[in-house]
Structure 1
Amino acid sequence: MKVLHIITSSRGGAGIAALRLHEALCESGVSSAYLSVNRTINFENKTIADSFFNYQKPSFFEKIKTKFQHYFLATLYQKTTKRLNLIKQDLHCEIATLPFSDYKLHEHPLVQEADIINLHWVAGILDYSTFFENCNKPIVWTFHDMNPFQGLFHYKNDEVANAKTASKLDDEIKLVKAKAIQKIQKGVVVTPSKWMLVAARESKVFSHFTKTHIPNAIDFTVFCPQDKTSLRAKHHIAPNDFVLLFVAEDVSNIRKGFYLLQEALVNLKKTPITVLAIGKGVIPVNENIKIISLGEISSPVAMAACYAMADAFVLPSLEDNLPNVMLEAFACGIPLIGFSIGGIAEHTKIGFTGVLANEISSLSLAEAIATFYKTKENYKSGVIVQYAKDHFNKKQQAKAYIEIYNGLLG
């Protein structure tokens, strides 16, 4: 059995989660491969040079053909791209994508060699219509966000927020996706959170797919408890300081809620708090709030050290599936403070693994932080680590996926 994981990029939350699944399967004896624009791993689990996604300069005749199509016989891809570009500046969203691509993924050697295709976050590299029309292999689709069963947007809040601007194009894209997906003969949807599973079941796009829930997994050899005092000393943080950690790929991403944390901290002036912030973007200076910006960190080892420095990990996302950062924090024995949404609500237990705010607001988040500060001695690192090992185990994840693969292959 050969399983190919397809993901747009090996970077970012989805890329990392997909790579961890690939590694878990390899450790379980499955012949697994990994395909993305910036990293390709073959079925021997070796990273290889792959020119498939390299830019190829079009010939003179191809340029003429493209211009002719653009003016006289524009494709659906070209038409919708033009329409999206016209409204892009008026959109207020994290990202908006189309189900089209110039890549012919069905022609990739690894796709042709695979017995099963496991799709992940594939915006920009998967052309829905041509891929599903030409690839008749069983499809497992791991949902890292809602985009596979939505239109332009990747989360429901963005769809709602941009309804006036983009509803017509959004609805048309949903139909394009649905029509292409109906061509898949054998498929299973996997969601890392139960929240995403409910949303997937409510959607009619994947009505002919079996749907199931399998949490992501974590590497406990990298993410594990460490000596807090020595790590803090490197950043001139006192051993007894109350330290909160915030992590996002981009701190300006509205969905990740850093602005709500900043507002919450203003309401906690009497509580001595040091915030470590990881991610790209400029953090506004506030004399009343001690924020240490650590910038972008890509090294798992460096990230594990940052978790270990914190008393709690603050994850104020407005919408989220099963964030890798939550799993990483738990594996390091760090409790979580966040909102009662998505996979965060499923695994954050008060007095056990963390505290949930009563509502999505800066005031409620401030109250949750204050509650944790008063009861922080109740949270035991070893208990949290054990919870992570019980729920985000690589062997359990691989076993669950293998059962799905075997079922599809009959």
Structure 2
Amino acid sequence: MNVYVRATARELGRMGVHVDVFTRSQNPGIRRVVELGTGARVIHLPAGPEAPMAREVVHRHLPEFVDGVEAHRRAEGLEYDLIHGHYWLSGVAGLALRESWSVPLVQMFHTLGRLKNSVAKTPAEVEPEIRLSEEDRIVRLADRVVAANVVERAHLAWYYGASTDRIAVIPCGVDTELFRPMPQVEAKRLLALPPDPLLLYVGRLQPIKGLETLLDAMTALDGAARLLIVGGDQDEPENGHADYLRERVSVLGLRERVSFLGAQPQERLRLFYAAADATVMPSYYESFGMVALEAMACGSPVIASRVGGLTTTVRDGVTGFLVPEGDAAALAERVALLLEDRGRRAALGREAQRWAAEHRWPCVAEAVCRLYSDLRPSASGHLARARCRSSHGRS
């Protein structure tokens, strides 16, 4: 499940909001209803084959999914006050349910099809027309759209004609109780890693993530560091790009310095962030960049492309560095600067941790609940239980 959805659902549940997260089942062996925490649960509904499939194929099964949500509601005698869709497919389902239930729809896209297409390098990377047309419809009809930052708000207005007075800017968050600093030596010991300088990439193995730029930058570092690649989305069909990246590593002579580790549990991921001298995000497009927040919360400086939401998530020269996307030489130069200057690296890491602390999930959930209260005034009663101010004893 998406980290954002899980974290906000749990935090809203702590505030007394009843949250049901409906998702399409991709594994018949998973329990239909799973508790996320107090007042929050996830409900897996069959809609088409219970297996990963391309999103445009999932779109054909949305009527079955919507029927499943309605059947669950009736079986439990529930009346929902509001729908919050995440990603475009959920927005399509949300519009159908809003029509049946006559309740407001809040939508967050997380990524935008037209933005992804603007940086696509091959026809295989282009998002289908059905996604673009459905995003247009959702933007036009949703009661509110949530943007993760002012950059995404501008993209929604420019590429989709969204009315900015219906867009709420609410940043993504990070679990600062899980992602927190620890001594680098200790993290490497727990991971059984050598003391060599270490770079980290965390994310999906997709062309839009720009990993080939990072691999090219590694060749310019002349053996100065190792690179760990953590990721690979288990919920999506394999697109062949992971095999291309592994082949690229061999062609560049990097097999001794680059390791593919696959997806890692979040509890273990914290160790990788703490062990790294820098976390690198060479993406061609990011709507926000939650990996950057997780890394910074652990005190790891971030070197990222100057694109999309990364331009607001990473503060250039303060919490890390921003470089032009696709520019391996610029990326290598900034990596080398960090590796050579321990004092600079430590200073950036300290500021990164402080910056990440401003994006705790309790504060995100409070902002989301305030948005709900604009549409459903009764939601304001839950704000008294928000933990944003009380977290870490701050005021």
AA partner of residue 155 (structure 1): K
Q: CA deviation at 1:371?
A: 2.6
Tell me the distance in 1 between the aligned counterparts of 2:310 and 2:140: 32
Counterpart for residue 348 of structure 1: 314
Match for 1:195 among 142, 147, 151? Answer: 151
Tell me the TM-score normalised to structure 2 length. 0.75
Residues 204 and 160 of structure 1, relative CA distance in 2, 3 Å threshold: farther
Q: CA deviation at 1:217?
A: 1.3
* 1:32 and 1:42 in contact (8 A); partners too: no
Match for 1:265 among 218, 233, 236? Answer: 218
* 1:224 and 1:333 in contact (8 A); partners too: yes
Residues 318 and 217 of structure 1, relative CA distance in 2, 3 Å threshold: same
Match for 1:33 among 20, 23, 27? Answer: 20
List alignment gaps of at least 5 residues for structure 1: 1-9, 58-93
Cα deviation digits, residues 234-283 of structure 1 (max 9, x gap): 555443x2210011232xx11111111111111221x5111111124342
1:319 paired to 2:304? no
Q: CA deviation at 1:161?
A: 5.7
Tell me the distance in 1 between the aligned counterparts of 2:65 and 2:172: 29
1:107 paired to 2:70? yes
Tell me the distance in 2 between the aligned counterparts of 1:132 and 1:116: 8
Instruction: Give SS of 1:262's match.
Output: helix
What are the equivalent positions in structure 2 for 1:9-408 lying under 5 Å apart? 10=1, 15-38=2-25, 41=35, 45=39, 47=41, 50=43, 52-53=45-46, 100=60, 101-105=62-66, 107-110=70-73, 113-123=79-89, 126-127=92-93, 130-147=96-113, 150=114, 155-157=116-118, 162=123, 170=129, 174-175=132-133, 178-179=136-137, 182=140, 184=142, 187-204=143-160, 206-207=162-163, 210-234=166-190, 237-239=193-195, 241-250=196-205, 253-269=206-222, 272-280=224-232, 281-282=242-243, 283=246, 284-285=249-250, 286-288=252-254, 290-378=256-344, 379-380=346-347, 381-390=349-358, 392-408=359-375
Tell me the distance in 2 between the aligned counterparts of 1:299 and 1:114: 32
List alignment gaps of at least 5 residues for structure 2: 26-32, 233-241, 378-395
Residues 178 and 385 of structure 1, relative CA distance in 2, 3 Å threshold: closer
Residues 55 and 41 of structure 1, relative CA distance in 2, 3 Å threshold: farther
* 1:319 and 1:341 in contact (8 A); partners too: yes
Instruction: Give SS of 1:226's match.
Output: coil
Instruction: Give SS of 2:287's match.
Output: coil
Tell me the distance in 2 between the aligned counterparts of 1:365 and 1:99: 38
Residues 28 and 51 of structure 1, relative CA distance in 2, 3 Å threshold: closer
Residues 135 and 293 of structure 1, relative CA distance in 2, 3 Å threshold: farther
Tell me the TM-score normalised to structure 1 length. 0.73
Counterpart for residue 63 of structure 1: none
Q: CA deviation at 1:301?
A: 0.7
Counterpart for residue 29 of structure 2: none
Tell me the distance in 2 between the aligned counterparts of 1:107 and 1:399: 28
Greater Cα offset, 338-347 or 198-207: 198-207
Cα deviation digits, residues 84-142 of structure 1 (max 9, x gap): xxxxxxxxxx9767854232426253596210111002538944774454342111111
AA partner of residue 396 (structure 1): C
Tell me the distance in 2 between the aligned counterparts of 1:166 and 1:342: 18
Instruction: Give SS of 2:144's match.
Output: strand
- The count of residues paired between Structure 1 and Structure 2 equals 346
CA RMSD of aligned residues (A): 3.5
AA partner of residue 222 (structure 1): L
Higher-Rg structure is: 1
* 2:14 and 2:39 in contact (8 A); partners too: no
Greater Cα offset, 344-353 or 374-383: 374-383
AA partner of residue 278 (structure 1): V
* 1:99 and 1:177 in contact (8 A); partners too: no
Q: CA deviation at 1:145?
A: 0.6
Tell me the distance in 1 between the aligned counterparts of 2:193 and 2:138: 54
AA partner of residue 17 (structure 1): Y
* 1:257 and 1:318 in contact (8 A); partners too: yes
Instruction: Give SS of 2:63's match.
Output: coil
Tell me the distance in 1 between the aligned counterparts of 2:278 and 2:70: 47
Greater Cα offset, 310-319 or 288-297: 288-297
AA partner of residue 357 (structure 2): K
Instruction: Give SS of 1:305's match.
Output: helix
Greater Cα offset, 216-225 or 346-355: 346-355
Residues 129 and 288 of structure 1, relative CA distance in 2, 3 Å threshold: closer
Q: Percent identity?
A: 20
AA partner of residue 354 (structure 2): Q
